Chains A and B, each alone.
Chain A
């Protein structure tokens, strides 16, 4: 079964610093990968998705992610963190065309 692993349950950065959230996938075939964000007491919002069209994927709110097959990774980055980026971030994979299966999540804290 396909799965994703998020390294680091909590990441803290200063406002204006680089954001790097890590996600590794486990799959024998190239998977379709997604990053979602969840603000407190809210649902999940899609940031971006990888569907094999391009290895560098740009999403909303200045986020992007690069698919690296050699490293089985799909890390999420943002050049300059903003206070409003503080939230929970989930990497996900669509398991065999059934439904999204999520990693454990990473809490991003941004300090001024």
Chain B
């Protein structure tokens, strides 16, 4: 199984809503990532978890709150988002954070903030 599963695939939320994005992998990977991708742009790194601990936060606003309940799951909690936060949110995982390690990506959650 080389899949990274993200739910939901699409999400529309108001600026006062609270919602969560979910990501799951069963490859035994110990590093998991959240990326944000705007249209016609490359993915931008948001957070990195290594062995279930947050190791990198790329200066992401606090309205985005990551959580790693166990080695297979990664959540991204959303609160008080702005319309400019609308984007494709990609989850990825890798065996570790070594230089030669490739990441496996989920299909993404298309988020629209209204």
- Cα separation A36 to B107 with both chains bound (whole Å): 13
The reply to whether A49 and B107 contact each other, CB–CB distance below 8 Å, is: no
Measured between beta carbons, the chain B residues less than 8 angstroms from A99 are 33, 45, 48, 56, 97, 103
Are B90 and A44 in contact, CB atoms less than 8 angstroms apart? Answer: yes
Q: Mark B70-98, 1 if CB is under 8 A from A, else 0.
A: 00000000000000000010101000011
Q: Which residues of B contact A104 (CB under 8 A)?
A: 41-42
How far, in angstroms, from A101 to B100 measured CA to CA in the complex? 13
Distance of A78 Cα from B98 Cα, bound (Å): 28
Nearest neighbor of A90 in chain B, beta-carbon distance? B42
CB-CB nearest in chain B for A100: B103
> Contacts A32-B99, A104-B42 given: A98-B56 contact, CB under 8 Å?
yes
- CB-based nearest A residue for B88: A41
Would A94 and B104 count as touching, CB distance under 8 A? no
Interface bin, chain A? 20 to 34
State the B residues within 8 Å of A (CB).
Answer: 4, 6, 33, 40-43, 45, 48, 55-56, 88, 90, 92, 97-108, 110
Residues of A within 8 A of B (CB): 31-32, 34, 36, 41-46, 49, 51, 90, 94, 96-105
A94–B105 CB distance below 8 A: no
Question: How many angstroms between the C-alpha atoms of A99 and B42 in the bound complex?
Answer: 14
B63 CB to closest chain A CB (Å) equals 21
Contacts of B101 in A (CB 8 A): 94
Bound complex: CA A44 to CA B97 (Å): 18
Could you say which residues of chain B place their CB within 8 Å of the CB of A49? 100, 102
A99 to chain B, nearest CB (A): 5
Asked if residues B107 and A101 are in contact (CB atoms below 8 Å), the reply is no
Contacts of B102 in A (CB 8 A): 34, 46, 49, 100
Q: Which residues of A contact B103 (CB under 8 A)?
A: 46, 99-100
A97 touches B99 (CB 8 A): yes
A44-B43, A103-B42, A105-B42 known; A32+B100 contact, CB < 8 A = yes
